[in-house]
């Protein structure tokens, strides 16, 4: 089958390199051209360095010529600007780091470099990953390629929009409360949050350390597996990194789904989701029944507490993690100040945006003397109950399904003035992070306005291969994942 590199999946690109249909240098140049053409419209990328990217592509071509290529050697991907990359501007979407050029590589970047992958650039994101719409970035809002008046979701919205618009075949993201899965749903692509600890957090700028997890974003479940094969792995520099045997996350893709037990939490199918989202998810589950799956009604009784629990714990950890940004060692520093304390105050007032300041204040409050037991300790206890709900549920089912988000992409500015409504965008995703479980989103249809709907698949600990199998078999039988935004998705030379 003939295809243009800009429309190819990671596997198709890899096969194309092997068959010598095109070179990595040619493919990288095609994507750079399209980024140059469309990025001013979509605002997906914060940093692009064509010279550096093409140098990596030439090195990948040399590796292939020497017979030293790995599966993804020469394949270009975009990197969320939360991952430190040596020599690249690494801003985390914040004015605080707008002048920070990283002196080292994150573990994820090291692994992609070792695999010969080409870095197309650093993608836009909510400031310090705090947001559900990609509107809090110091560099401005990212626009959804399906409707430029709408958000792509957050915080990995730049990565999601870049993949959806075919500015990159795949990208990295991070997920603290749904920040891979929700933007994947809003833009009609696939995104996977692995089990906590599977992907190292070393060099990934911290938001909430007990929740943050890096993961892949791509157009197919197959490509997610190929990326996770590179990203996963033990790293002694991260105290939460899990030491496990390497595995091929694509190994189970071809397995039939006959007898698979799908858990349907009654809390996911109440009145929370919009009718269009509910209908698309119901149709997807009906399709799984045709593939031989069984459905089982389950309950996650404490899921309703996940949003308040998250917005106690995540800000508490953020208030600690962000204390390092003080203008002393790196990043933004206020120009005019009278003493050290004044420098701290002015630097942080200038360097942080409104949402980051809000979460630092909340975090400092719940950790303060007199409120620590009432809020932080109680939230930790509830977190344990939420995790136990999933443990009980997986005794009755193999995977859990439901909507990724209660709505499709909303308009830019629609929820910016109401933080609570913004936070509720992640109501179906947050519990997965609190429990440390793997979760993913795949496209399963469109609403009446032509906007993508995401189906969430949740697995038990270390069930990534099984989840990818479940997603892949659905994608063999449907074509939602192949749909591209009109005009934006067309090949541009």
Active site residues: 80, 155, 179
Torsion from C-alpha of 350, 149, 485, 170, nearest 10 degrees: 10
Distance of alpha carbon 427 from alpha carbon 173, whole angstroms: 19
- Is the separation of the CB atoms in 444 and 454 below 8 Å? yes
Bond preceding residue 155 cis, omega within 30 of 0: yes
Name every residue whose Cβ is closer than 8 Å to that of residue 51 and which is 6 or more positions away in sequence.
Answer: none
Question: Cβ-count burial of 341 within 10 angstroms (0-12 exposed, 13-18 middle, 19+ buried)?
Answer: exposed
Q: Computed over its alpha carbons, how large is the radius of gyration of the chain?
A: 21
Give the SS3 label for residue 149. coil
Distance of alpha carbon 151 from alpha carbon 161, whole angstroms: 9
CA 212 to chain centre: 10
- Is the separation of the CB atoms in 203 and 173 below 8 Å? no
Question: In this structure, are strands 399-403 and 261-265 parallel, antiparallel, or unpaired?
Answer: parallel
- Is the separation of the CB atoms in 200 and 212 below 8 Å? no
- Is the separation of the CB atoms in 171 and 148 below 8 Å? no
- Is the separation of the CB atoms in 33 and 492 below 8 Å? yes
Give the SS3 label for residue 172. strand
Q: What is the DSSP string of 351-410?
A: HS-HHHHHHHHHHHHHTSTTTIIIIIIHHHHHHHHHHHHHHHHTTT-SEEEEESSSSSPP
Distance of alpha carbon 112 from alpha carbon 250, whole angstroms: 17
Provide the angle, in degrees to the nearest 10, between the axes of the packed helices 24-42 and 157-164: 120
First to last CA, the chain: 21
Give the SS3 label for residue 199. coil
């Amino acid at each position: 089958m003939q295809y243009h590199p800009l429309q190819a999946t990671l596997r198709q690109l890899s096969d194309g390199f092997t068959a010598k249909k095109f070179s990595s240098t040619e493919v990288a140049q095609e994507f750079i051209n399209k980024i140059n053409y469309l990025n001013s419209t979509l605002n997906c990328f914060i940093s692009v360095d064509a010279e550096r990217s093409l140098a990596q592509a030439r090195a990948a071509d040399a590796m292939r010529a020497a017979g030293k290529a790995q599966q993804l050697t020469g394949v270009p991907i975009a990197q969320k600007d939360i991952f430190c990359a040596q020599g690249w501007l690494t801003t985390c979407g914040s004015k605080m780091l707008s002048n920070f050029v990283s002196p080292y590589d994150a573990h994820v970047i090291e692994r992609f470099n070792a695999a010969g992958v080409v870095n197309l650039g650093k993608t836009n994101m909510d400031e310090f990953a705090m947001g559900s719409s990609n509107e809090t970035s110091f560099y401005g809002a990212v626009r959804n390629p399906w409707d430029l008046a709408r958000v792509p979701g957050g915080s990995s919205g730049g990565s999601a929009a870049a993949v959806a618009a075919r500015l990159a075949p795949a990208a990295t993201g991070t997920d603290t409360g749904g920040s891979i899965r929700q933007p994947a749903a809003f833009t009609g692509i696939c995104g996977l949050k692995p089990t906590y600890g599977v992907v190292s957090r070393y060099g990934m700028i911290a938001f909430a350390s007990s929740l943050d997890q890096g993961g892949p974003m791509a157009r197919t479940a197959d490509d997610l597996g190929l990326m996770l094969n590179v990203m996963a792995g033990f790293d002694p520099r991260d105290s939460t990194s899990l030491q496990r045997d390497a595995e091929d996350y694509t190994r189970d893709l071809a397995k039939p789904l006959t007898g698979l037990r799908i858990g349907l939490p009654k809390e996911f199918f109440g009145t929370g989701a919009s009718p269009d989202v509910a209908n698309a998810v119901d149709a997807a589950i009906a399709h799984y029944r045709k593939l031989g799956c069984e459905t089982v009604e389950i309950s996650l009784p404490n899921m309703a507490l996940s949003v308040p629990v998250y917005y106690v714990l995540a800000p508490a950890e953020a208030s600690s993690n962000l204390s390092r940004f003080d203008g002393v060692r790196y990043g933004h520093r206020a120009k005019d100040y009278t003493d050290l304390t004044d420098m701290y105050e002015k630097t942080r007032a200038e360097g942080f945006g409104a949402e980051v300041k809000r979460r630092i204040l909340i975090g400092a409050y719940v950790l303060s003397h007199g409120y620590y037991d009432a809020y932080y300790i109680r939230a930790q206890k509830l977190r344990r109950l939420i995790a136990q709900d999933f443990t009980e549920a997986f005794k009755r089912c193999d995977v859990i399904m439901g909507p990724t988000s209660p709505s499709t992409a909303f308009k830019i500015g629609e929820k910016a003035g109401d933080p609570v409504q913004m936070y509720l965008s992640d109501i179906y995703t947050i519990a997965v992070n609190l429990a440390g479980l793997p979760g993913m989103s795949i496209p399963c249809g469109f609403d009446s306005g032509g906007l993508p709907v995401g189906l969430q698949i949740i697995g038990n600990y270390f069930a990534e291969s099984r989840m990818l199998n479940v997603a892949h078999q659905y994608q063999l039988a449907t074509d939602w994942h192949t749909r591209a935004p009109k005009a934006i998705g067309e090949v541009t030379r």
